[in-house]
Amino acid sequence: MAPSNVKTSIRVKALFFGGLKEVAGRAEECVELAPGSRIEDLFAQFVSRCPELSRYRGSLVASRNQEFAAWNTTLESGDEIAFLPPVSGG
């Protein structure tokens, strides 16, 4: 039914900053996901590997390609997704 050239996965870059970077144990990682995945799904994939991250879900915002984005934003291959703790510049 599906055309043979349909992609079976997408690849995005995930970035972590501030204290979250220390919890996640990484600053960035490229991740493969099913097409149609949302930012929420990407975060859940990290939580499955690092359950400690789930405690931070309520105090984070996400961005997609340098713009703040809702958690149910659908990902596309090549996206740069960042998980941002409360900002404290100035």
Partner 1 sequence: MAPLPISDDFILLVHESINANAMVDHVRTGGDGAIVTFDGCVRNQSHGRRTLYQDYEAYESMALAKMREIAAEVHTKFQIDRVAMAHRLGRLEIGETSVFIAVSAPHRPAAFEACRFAIDTLKHSVPIWKKEYFEDGAVWADGELPPVPQDTPTRKSAS
Q: Using CB under 8 A, list all residues that contact partner 1.
A: 15, 17-19, 59-63, 66-74, 82, 84-90
CB of 5 to partner 1, least distance (A): 22
CB of 28 to partner 1, least distance (A): 11
Residue with Cβ nearer partner 1 (18 or 44): 18
DSSP designation for 74: B
Whole-angstrom distance, CA of residue 62 vs CA of residue 68: 6
Whole-angstrom distance, CA of residue 26 vs CA of residue 15: 8
Residue with Cβ nearer partner 1 (4 or 36): 36
Q: Around 46, how many Cα atoms within 13 Å sit in the side-chain half-sphere?
A: 28
CB of 31 to partner 1, least distance (A): 18
For 2, 18, 19, 60, the CA distances from 43, given in Å and listed in that order, are 28, 16, 16, 11
Residue with Cβ nearer partner 1 (11 or 21): 21
